[in-house]
Structures are given as C-alpha cells and as structure tokens.
Chains A and B, each alone.
Chain A
Amino acid sequence: MNPVNYLYLAALLFTIGAAGVLIRRNAIVVFMCIELMLNACNLTFVAFSRMHGNLDGQIIAFFTMVVAAAEVVVGLAIIVLLFRSRHSASVDDASLMKL
C-alpha cells in the first residue's frame, strides 16, 4: 500500500483532534483531542520514516510517546485539581478572569 495514504490519514486525525480542542467544552475531552493530535504526529513520523528509509522518524515517535505520557501526568493532575474545587471540568465555567 502506498505510504502516502498514511499521511492523509494522519492529517485527517490531526484535524479531528484540532477541531475537537476548539469545539468540545469538557477539559478531559479537550485533553484527549490533544493526545489524538500527538498520535497523528506519530503516524506522520513513522510514515515519513518508511518513505525516506531512515530511522529518525521512528525514534522521534518514541520520544513523542514519552512526552505524551508526561503530559498526561501533569495535565490530569491539573484538571483533577480544578474538578475537585469546582465540581465541574467544563472549560467554560472557569471564567474568573474575564476582562
């Protein structure tokens, strides 16, 4: 199968993730959409790696996974903190600092 198709799939997944970040209102769902974007990046790296015939892209994919895991640790901690104080994880409710 032509590896370019994987690039199209990755771009589609990235777009779905980005649209989700902008549209969804629950902080957890927004965060999941960001993770989807990171995974779309991984797919792109691996597809390009195969097309170029070098291993850089596959190695970067591992780094991305580690970063995504670290981001989950920090992100969930912050979102759970917000939820415990407000009993809501909606990003619209958090509006103490509007101009």
Chain B
Amino acid sequence: MSATAVHSLWTTAAEPIDKIPAPTVEYAQLAPALIVVGAAIVGVLVEAFVPRKVRYHVQVFLTVVALVAAFAAVVALAAGGYGTTKARIAAMGAIAVDGPALFLQGTILLASLVAVFTFAERRLDPEAHGNRVDSFAAQTASVPGSDSEKAAVKAGFTTTEVFPLVLFAITGMLVFPAANDLLTLFIALEVFSLPLYLLCAVARRKRLMSQEAAVKYFLLGAFSSAILLFGIAMLYGYAGSVSYAKIADVVDGSVRTIDPALADTMGNDALLLIGGAMILVGLLFKVGAVPFHMWTPDVYQGAPTPVTGFMAAATKVAAFGALLRLLYVVLPGMSWDWRPVLWAIAIITMLGGAIVAITQTDIKRLLAYSSIAHAGFILAGVIATTPDGISSVMFYLAAYSFVTIGAFAVVTLVRDAGGEATHLSKWAGLGRRSPLVAAVFAVFLLAFAGIPLTSGFTGKFAVFKAAAEGGAGALVVVGVISSAIAAFFYIRVIVLMFFSEPKAEGPTVAVPSPLTMTTIAVGVAVTLVLGVVPQYFLDLASQAGVFVR
C-alpha cells in the first residue's frame, strides 16, 4: 500500500465543498424510467390518501397512462436518433442510451402494458359479498383460512398495492439492460427483484403455495444477488472502477500503466475470471438457465398467474439485455474464456428444459420448463458474438414475451371450484367445450414449439442462423433436437385439448372482461404478425443491434 494513494484520498475529502462538480444528468434521455418510477411513487400516495372504493380505478388508470407515456418517450428517443447515430452514455456514465437499450425498453413496456391488463381483471372469480375480486388476496397479511381473512373478504378489501409494485419492478427492468456500470446493474437488479418477491406472495387462491413460492424466490434470489455483488467487488478490484468502459479497457490490455503498488490486484486475471463468473451466475439465475433454474418451476406455479406471465416475459427480456451488454461491452476481450462455459450452459439448458417438461402434469410448471428451454435457445444467439447475434436475441425476446403473456392469460380463464384448473388432466377435451379458447392456446403452443407462420419460428430461425454463422454449428444441432423434443409435449397438450373426451365435472371457461381479451388478442396478433410478416421487425432489431461504448 503506497502512502501517497491514501494521502490523495484525504486531500480529495479536504477540498472546499464548492469545487466538487455537480453531476450532469440528461433527464430527457432517461425519461422512460423516470416516468414509470414517478407513477409508482404517485401510486404509493394513492394507496395512502385515496378512498378505498375508487383506489382500484385510479391505480389502473395511473399505471396504464404511465406505461403508455413511457413507451411514447422510448419511441420519441428512437425517432430522435438515440438508437443509432446519437447513441450515447448518459447520467455520468451510469446509463447507456443506445439501440439495444431502447429496443428492449420498448419491448418491456409493451409487454408490461398487456400484462397489467391481466392484473386488473376482475370478472373471472364470482363476486364475493357483492364485490368484484381480482387474482390477488383481499388482505395479504391475514392468515389463510382465518377469521381475519374472511372479514377482509367480506369487507371487500383488495390488494391494489400490486400496481405500484409492478411499476417499481418495471423501473428496475428498464434500467437493467441500459445499465452502463456495475453499481447501476446491481441496484436495477434489486429494484426489479424486490417487488417481484412480494408480488409472488399475494395470490387470492392457493395462498400457501403462493407464500411458499415467494419464500423460495426471495431466498434464492437474494443468494444469487449476493453472489453477483461479490463478482462486482472482484471486478472492481481487478479494474479499479465499476464503469463498463474502464473495465473493458483493462480486460483488453489497453491500459498499460499499472501502479506497481497495485500489481497484486489491478490486471490480476484470477480476479477477472472469478468476478466475471460470479456476475454471470447472478444473471443466468435471473434468466433461469440450467443449473441455476431450480426456482423457476416452483415460483411460476405458486405465483398468481398474471404475475407469472409478467415475470416470465419481462424479467427474461431485462436479464438477457443486461447479459448481452455485459458480454459484448465489458468482456469481449475474454470471449475465449466465457464462450465454452456458455456453450455448456446453453446445451444443458435447452436439453434439460425440454426433457424435464415432458414429465410435467401441471400446465404452469410445464410452461415454466418450456421457459427454461427457451432461455437455452436465446443463449445460443448470445454466444454468436456477432451483430446478428444481438439483433436476433432481441427479436426472439420480443416475440417470446407476447406469446408467454398470452399463454398465461389463457391459463387464468380455465377454472373450477378451486380457482384455476392447472392440472393437465382437467384440460382434456377443452377444445370440444370451448373451441375458441383452446384454439388460441394452441396458437401459443405452436409458437412455443416454433412452427412456421408463428413468431416462435421466426425467432428461432434468426437465433439459430446467427449462432451457425457465429461458429456455433453444434449448438444449432442440439437446439433443433431439443426443439423437436419440446414440440412433443406442446403437441401433446393440443392433442389432449382437441382429441380426448371432456370429463363430466371438468373445468369451466370463464368469460373475461375486455381487459384479458385485449391481452390475449394482442398476444395472438403479435404471434401471427411476427410469424407471417416479420421483415420490418427484423430490420428494426438489426438497426438497433449496436451497443454504445
């Protein structure tokens, strides 16, 4: 430890206060996230001050307006050229405003908007004591089955806090793929994770399962973010900075002047490798890649279904965005080190997700394992390390998120006395009883399977093409094989719905309000449009596929 280094700290602190330059923050370029977080804070105030009777309507209105306004801000930024020629790093190096960030933010906002419609749905359950009820507990703090729970239901309480919570989560997700230093990355991760832990715990039906899902998600999520944070500490020790650009310079070896006193830490490859690996673990946990996927099926099954749909779509978009930026901006200099690791993870994720999904008997668990397999397909595109890799992954994420939200919205419709009928045996013969709902669900399943004329096919084709051109031909072979395995269980559900006899005491299909209908209709429309005429959106993704550094 050199004495001068410490002394410089003291002199910095002793400088007159007026010599510290004020940070410059480009508020206009950060508008999407700022609008959403502002609305979330207003939502908290609404909870505190607005009468209970009108709270639901105020919250839904506020949330929808905020998401539409934030999306308009993203479009305005993109139209202003911030996605291409004027791409820049804003907020003193903390946030990147570039093509991938704007494309993924737009995707997250649109997907969240249709997901919020399913949050607001209040016509699926029969009215309780004359009050319309949604998917969320009357009072989350009351013990399931207790008198206080009955009293809360009778009084017509609803958990309208879900709307501010979801807005906070969206804020974190908007910042996550745009984060341009490791501290912002970590804070954004926590900002979107903490509300999601709570949202998992607030189901109206099957509350014990919902609480169990929340505990599991919380403990494992906090564990993984602690690992991520230690990785950040290692990279900070390695490079002496948490800024992406500065770390990338040290990784490339373009910084030649290393203080001899710091020879042990600065540029020490052990720190780089351990730190990089631990950050990857944290991000791969969030995308649900094998072997960090153990939380996915339990959390997807236990969480309220609207939350599951939102989480499955938006979290994946945000986490893959952050993963892409980390690998393409910070660590391209060590791609020889991380590519073999991600190869292995992509292979076991694709195969593991597809094979385990075959044995599932619960529709939500089945979709959870399917999402694991899809994480593997997307990883194949990430590994490509070409501009096509970035744009194909972004296109895949956009296509996948609408299919997922639509599929989970259909799951909320099929109900019996105990709430949603998620056991697969109850879906037998659904196509005979409710042909429209079954047909819509079949479209989503075919898109998951990657059948032509659906968005799933276009996305998979783009990702596999990028991977093959990026020198990962073997991955494409594994990807096609596991797609075939996955197609088996998607088709099996379709066969179950259309070609088996309905049971006498089978579930009923609830008639939803226009809210859920909109969600499902948007899901089907996006699935078909991206499948039949994808060219415009592929071009959009490839224009946006350049990271700023």
A interface residues (Cβ-Cβ under 8 A, vs B): 2-4, 7, 10, 14, 17-18, 21, 27, 30-31, 34, 37-38, 40-41, 44-45, 48, 50-57, 59-60, 63-64, 67, 70-71, 74-75, 77-79, 81-82, 84-86, 91, 94-97, 99
Residue of A nearest to B181 (CB): A56
Given the contacts A60-B242, A82-B212, A94-B215, A37 and B12 also touching, CB distance less than 8 Å: no
A26 and B73 CA atoms in complex are apart in Å by: 46
Cβ-defined contact, A60 with B215, below 8 A: no
Contact of A50 among B6, B207, B218 (CB under 8 A): B6
Contact A56 B213 (CB under 8 A): no
Q: Which residues of A lie under 8 Å from residue B201 when comparing CB positions?
A: 78, 81
Q: Per-residue CB proximity of B1-42 to A under 8 Å, as 1/0?
A: 110111011001000000000000000000000000000000
Which residues from chain A contact B140 at a C-beta distance below 8 Å? 81
Complex CA gap A37/B282 in Å reads 14
B416 within 8 Å of A (CB atoms):
no
Complex-state Cα separation, A51 to B164, whole angstroms:
42
CB distance from A97 to the nearest CB of B (A): 5
- Nearest to A33 among chain B residues (CB) is B223
Question: Do A82 and B215 touch across chains, with their CB atoms under 8 A apart?
Answer: yes
Task: Specify which chain A residues have a CB less than 8 angstroms from the CB of B48 in the assembled complex.
Answer: none
CB closest residue in chain B, given A71: B222
- Measured CB to CB, the closest approach of chain A to B329, in angstroms, equals 18
Question: In the complex the two chains form, is B262's CB within 8 Å of A63's CB?
Answer: no
In the bound complex, residues from chain A placing their C-beta under 8 Å from that of B365 are 99
A-B contact pairs, 17 of them (CB 8 A): A21-B223, A31-B222, A37-B229, A37-B230, A38-B229, A41-B230, A41-B233, A48-B265, A52-B5, A53-B2, A55-B9, A59-B183, A67-B190, A71-B190, A85-B207, A85-B208, A97-B209
Number of contact residues on B: which range applies?
A: 35 or more
Measured in the bound complex, the distance between the Cα atoms of B262 and A7 in whole Å is 14
Q: Which single residue of chain A is at the shortest CB-CB distance from B222?
A: A34
Q: Which of A10, A38, A53, A55 has the most CB of B within 10 A?
A: A53
Known pairs A41-B233, A45-B233, A85-B207. 16 more at Cβ < 8 A? A10-B233, A27-B219, A30-B219, A50-B1, A50-B5, A53-B9, A57-B236, A63-B186, A74-B197, A74-B198, A78-B201, A78-B218, A84-B143, A85-B144, A97-B301, A99-B360
Q: CA A40 – CA B302 in complex, angstroms?
A: 32
A-B interface, 4 closest residue pairs, ranked by CB to CB distance from nearest: A53-B5, A37-B226, A44-B233, A48-B237
Q: Which residue of A lies closest to B189 (CB)?
A: A67
Shortest C-beta distance, B419 to chain A (Å), equals: 14
Task: State A3–B219 Cα separation when bound (angstroms).
Answer: 32
B residues at A contact (CB < 8 Å): 1-2, 4-6, 8-9, 12, 140-141, 143-144, 183, 186-187, 190, 194, 197-198, 201, 207-209, 211-216, 218-219, 222-223, 226-227, 229-230, 232-234, 236-237, 240-242, 262, 264-266, 297-298, 301-302, 359-360, 365
Residues of B within 8 A of A7 (CB): 237
Bound Cα distance from A83 to B229, whole angstroms = 29
Contact across chains for B6 and A67 when beta carbons are under 8 A apart: no
Cα A13 to Cα B187 in complex, Å, equals: 22
How many whole Å from A63's CB to the nearest CB in chain B? 6
Does B240 contact A41, Cβ atoms closer than 8 Å?
Answer: no
B187 cross-chain contacts in A, Cβ below 8 A: 63, 67
- Report yes or no: A14 in contact with B215, Cβ–Cβ below 8 A: no
Contact B211 A48 (CB under 8 A): no
In the complex, what residues of A have CB within 8 A of residue B264's CB?
Answer: 4
Are A78 and B208 in contact (CB-based, < 8 A)? Answer: no
Query: Which residues on the A side are within 8 Å of B211 (C-beta)?
Result: 78, 81-82, 85
- Chain A residues with CB under 8 A of B9: 53-55
Q: How far apart sit A87 and B232, CA to CA, in the bound complex (Å)?
A: 38
**Contact present for A63 and B208 (CB under 8 Å):** no
Residues of B within 8 A of A85 (CB): 143-144, 207-208, 211
Q: Name A46's closest neighbour in chain B (CB-CB).
A: B233
The distance from the CB of A93 to the nearest CB of chain B, in whole angstroms, is 9
A31 to chain B: which residues have CB within 8 Å?
219, 222
Q: Are A97 and B236 in contact (CB under 8 A)?
A: no
Q: Are B229 and A41 in contact (CB under 8 A)?
A: yes
Q: Which residues of B contact A18 (CB under 8 A)?
A: 223, 226-227
* B236 and A56 within 8 A (CB): yes
- In the complex the two chains form, what is the Cα distance from A96 to B253 in whole Å? 52
Give A77 to B190 CA distance when docked, in angstroms. Answer: 16
Which residues of the other chain, B, contact A48 by a CB distance below 8 angstroms? 233, 236-237, 240, 265
The answer to whether B186 and A67 have CB atoms under 8 Å apart is: yes
